[in-house]
Amino acid sequence: MHRLRVFLLEHGLDAIIVCLAAAAALTIVTHTGSTGTDDVGVVFHAVAVVVMSLALTLRRRAPFAIPAGTWLSSATLSIVDGSLIAGQAPLSIVGMIAAVLLGDLKDHRQARAGLAVVVASAATVAYQDPTHTAGDLFFIPGLFAAGWLVGFTLHARTEQAEAAEERAARAEWQRRNEGRVAVAEERARIARELHDIVAHAVSVMVLQVGALRHRLPVEDVTSRETLRNVEEAGRDALTEMRRLLEAMRRDGDPLDLAPQPGLGGIAALLDTVRAAGIDTDLHVHGEAVDLPPGLALSAYRITQEGLTNVIKHAHTHRAEVHLRYCTDGLELEVRDDGGGPTTTDSLGHGLVGIRERVALYGGSMTAGPTETGGFALRARLPLGPG
């Protein structure tokens, strides 16, 4: 069935044209034979009609010239024999196909020229018909002009559909591109934030190594030299980390000298949300434990982004933040009872950052509407290696 459908789409019209050409030739032979026309005239007329009709199978090579030539040939043959074209049903269908093809041209100037050819040729064929009436001179050209209009309308619809598909493809590309940019920017932001934590830890190590080196006896040259090398390597690492941070900072980004926040800053964060008009409660479950600085920073940023989404999208006056300390991880939940978005697509790229932070520690997250209404963001950060 698929092959048949493809064949009909590619060659169906050609097959119809061939059948119409054969029917037209048979009609001419039958009609002229009964009127006593000589054999040479019958053959000439039949061949001319077949060639004129079959030329439409080459329409893809010359979209304007072939259909226009079909109509001009019809007008010429009608001048030679007024009854040859008029009244021939197969040739009328061929003419209608040619009219639709001229209306379906991409070039609107050629399409308008094609309309003129159709109307003028149809009027000529109607006028050369010995049995024509005054009404035929208007009705027949108008009929084929309607066929041209059908082709013109179909082409306009096709152009609209193609334009819509192009816009959709462009929008999809833009969405994916923006998503990739957002991921890259968020990863750079995470790296800049973690730089402070790592730099602080390395600084402490360097200071401790230096203090230990100064306490060693002067005669312990080997140990003192080893610790000096470790201290210098630590300072070199700090220098390279600062250079790396400068490379990741975009032009115009201010230098952030404030300490990176942790879970201890969530209370102040909730005060900010309450100042925005949203009553927010914090619920802590389990016994709080000391978290690695990087994980605590990520937990704070995830909570911050969740509350930001509540302010922007939830359309509510109440939200809850839950922190659950488990034996092997920390679970975060930010939920509201508003009538905000039912999908995460409208939350912009905020969730991109959350996913990146969760993935950094091998955790998991979900975000979506709740069964009781509202929206919930849940994330789990394992305490062990990801």
HSE on the CB side for 129, CA within 13 Å? Answer: 18
Going by C-alpha positions, the residue among 355, 377, 358 that lies closest to residue 367 is: 377
What pLDDT shows up at residue 39?
61
What pLDDT shows up at residue 345?
45
Angle at 108 between CA 107 and CA 112, to 5 degrees: 125
Distance CA 53, CA 5 (A): 24
pLDDT 10s digit of each residue in the chain, 386 long? 667 676 666 778 888 888 888 888 888 777 655 444 556 667 888 888 888 888 888 888 999 999 999 999 999 988 888 778 887 888 889 999 999 999 999 888 999 999 999 999 999 999 998 888 888 889 999 999 999 999 999 988 888 888 888 888 888 888 788 777 777 777 777 777 776 667 767 777 887 887 887 788 878 888 888 888 888 888 888 777 777 766 666 555 554 545 577 888 888 888 888 888 888 899 999 888 888 888 888 888 888 888 888 887 767 788 899 999 988 889 999 988 876 554 444 445 567 778 888 888 888 988 888 887 788 899 999 986 54
What pLDDT shows up at residue 259?
58
Rounded (10°) CA dihedral 335, 365, 386, 328: 40
* Strand ranges in 205-362 using DSSP code E only, listed in sequence order: 279-285, 318-325, 329-336
What pLDDT shows up at residue 347?
45
Token duo for residue 136 = 């035929």
